[in-house]
Structure 1
Amino acid sequence: MSRTVTPPKSEIDWQQVASPQLDTGATSILNELVQETLALTRRLFIQLQRRPSTLVAGIIQPVMWLILFGALFQNAPPGLFGNSQSYAQFLGAGVIVFTAFGGALNAGLPVMFDREFGFLNRLLVAPLASRFSIVLASAIFIITQSLLQAAVIVAAAAFLGAGLPDVTGLGVITLVVFLLALGVTALSLGLAFALPGHIELIAVIFVTNLPLLFASTALAPLSFMPKWLQVVASLNPLSYAIEPIRYLYTHSDWNLSSIVMQAPWGTITFGGALLVLLGFSLVALLSIQPLLRKSLT
């Protein structure tokens, strides 16, 4: 008759015994983080549903820009704006990027209002799996809203004669808008925790909004600008989002080595512009980490 022989306690692998519990605990924390993030994101979308004026205004304004600026320069000589067939086609990329930029720049306002009305303090004392879900939910909400607005602008630009890139091109536009919105959203959320109130945050938004627009290639090519402004526009992250999208509208045979911008210090390729946007987003995310740890812990 056989019997089971139990090894001595010293021979039992206690790490294997404890690992299922550790894995279960990690999975539970991850599930709670996802649940918290989804709940907080849903709250922001409910607010948007009850007050859709922000989303509507964020769509109507750029569409008006496309119509009015396109009509203003419709009689411009051919070739004045590079390879674009019309100024509406040239302007389309700038309006797409600036719409996403404007929405992401306002990302810190909901967090700031939660701070001032005391809702953020209630979240900080709640038994959350991770308080970073507060920031993550705001980022998901703003990036989703920016992508939605960009999609509407792409459709409006196509209706106004700017054309429409192919499916791959639309995917690249989504990637560009995502990278830009991610970096700007991170900076805006950092300002929401660093500044004392919404008045200061709104002041920063107003001060940086239009200057960054005019100091980019959204409204005019680099060749139209004086030398000093060419340098500023070549340092502006918006230009590195605008030029790849503009290239997609004017070239069907693009690739990562295609030259999209002639900066004062050299040529910028399609892939190089994407790397600049990726670096901008990573730097923005890393730069706000100490501030978020201090504010959320």
Structure 2
Amino acid sequence: MSQSVSPNQINSILAPNPSLTQQSSIGSSALGNFVQETLALTKRLFIQLQRRPSTLVAGIIQPFMWLILFGALFSKAPQGLFGNDMNYAKFLAPGIIVFTAFSGALNAGLPVMFDREFGFLNRLLVAPLASRYSIVAASTVYIIVLSFVQTAVIIGASAFLGAGFPNAIGLSAIALIVFLIVLGVTALSLGLAFALPGHIELIAVIFVTNLPLLFASTALAPLNFMAGWLQVIASLNPLTYAIEPIRYLYLNGDWAVSSIVMSNPWANISFGGVILVLLGFDALVLLAIQPLLRRRFA
């Protein structure tokens, strides 16, 4: 026997659930507040850069000097030392791109450390923020934007010095690789900024790790040019996994995700494999700093 349904019951069924609507509104509001806070804190960092532009100027001049000096140093290298039909400017450009982005990302923790020492970070932590993670998100956005600016300048300067110019798809791939390496190193630097007691210790870590990671990568010399033990270290260095695909993009306009872009002592790795390695590096660093950030923000 069927039962009739009144119009009021139909309206109650079709009407949206107030609790679900309220939860959705709260979620969208929290996301909007997080984005607003991140943009405001990022704007503060750019205002500091505008008042002290020497950081950006030095970050552009230094890699340009590296390109000129190292290019002149190896200008008379034997033909074929760096591969067929490759001059040292074309070989060096990817290494300078990655190393410049890496150096900037490694310094990302310094503004946070100075905010800690001057007491501004404590003011942020007691402010009614929607999420305190907007503090680290702002620093990350700031460093990524600076890295893209520096990368564009280096690509233009290296093209002027004879390295050539990748096509549009290649430039997009370079931007993706730079983004991935900067994201992981920036997260690591921000974690150190919260873990170390002061800026002296952070600067010491930066100096100790900066140049050794450069020379233990393929930025300045090919992998087969190194001693056996250094080849193993370079094959474990995240910078190598960012340098080699960019170098392949400079040499090959026609490439695919399955293209083999680097060979280490134990395997040949495709472009897609390199991207997975960089994603794994980012995930590992982000997971490692999560407990530290939660403890500090608490």
Query: What is the alpha-carbon distance in structure 1 between the residues aligned to residue 68 and residue 86 of structure 2?
Result: 16
Match of 1:265 in 2: 266
- The question of 1:243 aligning with 2:221 is answered no
Match of 2:138 in 1: 137
Q: 1:244 to 1:5 in 2, by over 3 A?
A: closer
Question: In the TM superposition, what are the counterparts of 1:127-276 in structure 2 within 5 Å?
Answer: 127-276=128-277
CA RMSD for the aligned pairs?
A: 1.7
Match of 1:57 in 2: 58
Cα shift at 1:14 = 9.9
Q: 1:293 to 1:15 in 2, by over 3 A?
A: farther
Cα shift at 1:69 = 0.7
> Matched residue of 2:154: which SS?
helix
Which letter maps to 2:282? S
Query: What is the alpha-carbon distance in structure 2 between the residues aligned to residue 296 and residue 14 of structure 1?
Result: 41
Query: What is the alpha-carbon distance in structure 2 between the residues aligned to residue 243 and residue 55 of structure 1?
Result: 26
Query: What is the alpha-carbon distance in structure 2 between the residues aligned to residue 99 and residue 204 of structure 1?
Result: 17
**Structure 2 residue ranges without an equivalent (≥5):** 1-5
Query: What is the alpha-carbon distance in structure 2 between the residues aligned to residue 53 and residue 296 of structure 1?
Result: 31
Cα shift at 1:270 = 1.7
Contact 1:83 1:250 in 2 (8 A): no
**Sequence identity, in percent?**
71
- The question of 1:88 aligning with 2:53 is answered no
Which letter maps to 2:145? T
Which letter maps to 2:93? G
> Matched residue of 2:17: which SS?
helix
Question: In the TM superposition, what are the counterparts of 1:86-125 in structure 2 within 5 Å?
Answer: 86-125=87-126
Query: What is the alpha-carbon distance in structure 1 between the residues aligned to residue 13 and residue 225 of structure 2?
Result: 76
Query: What is the alpha-carbon distance in structure 1 between the residues aligned to residue 141 and residue 25 of structure 2?
Result: 27
Query: What is the alpha-carbon distance in structure 1 between the residues aligned to residue 160 and residue 297 of structure 2?
Result: 46
Moved over 4 A (4+): 4-7, 11-15
Contact 1:84 1:250 in 2 (8 A): no
Contact 1:190 1:288 in 2 (8 A): yes
Q: 1:5 to 1:219 in 2, by over 3 A?
A: closer
Which letter maps to 2:236? L
Deviations along 1:179-232, one digit per CA (max 9) or x if unpaired, are 000000000000000000000000000000000000000000011100000000
Which letter maps to 1:229? L
**Structure 1 residue ranges without an equivalent (≥5):** none
Cα shift at 1:26 = 1.5
Contact 1:91 1:218 in 2 (8 A): yes
Which letter maps to 1:180? I
Query: What is the alpha-carbon distance in structure 1 between the residues aligned to residue 252 and residue 80 of structure 2?
Result: 15
Which letter maps to 2:245? P
Which letter maps to 1:223? N
Query: What is the alpha-carbon distance in structure 2 between the residues aligned to residue 172 and residue 150 of structure 1?
Result: 13
Query: What is the alpha-carbon distance in structure 2 between the residues aligned to residue 147 and residue 118 of structure 1?
Result: 30
> Matched residue of 2:164: which SS?
coil
> Matched residue of 1:260: which SS?
strand
Q: 1:5 to 1:249 in 2, by over 3 A?
A: closer
Which letter maps to 1:41? T
Which letter maps to 2:237? N
Query: What is the alpha-carbon distance in structure 2 between the residues aligned to residue 52 and residue 18 of structure 1?
Result: 50
Number of aligned positions between the proteins: 292
Cα shift at 1:281 = 0.9
- The question of 1:294 aligning with 2:295 is answered yes
TM-score using structure 2 length: 0.94
Contact 1:84 1:90 in 2 (8 A): no
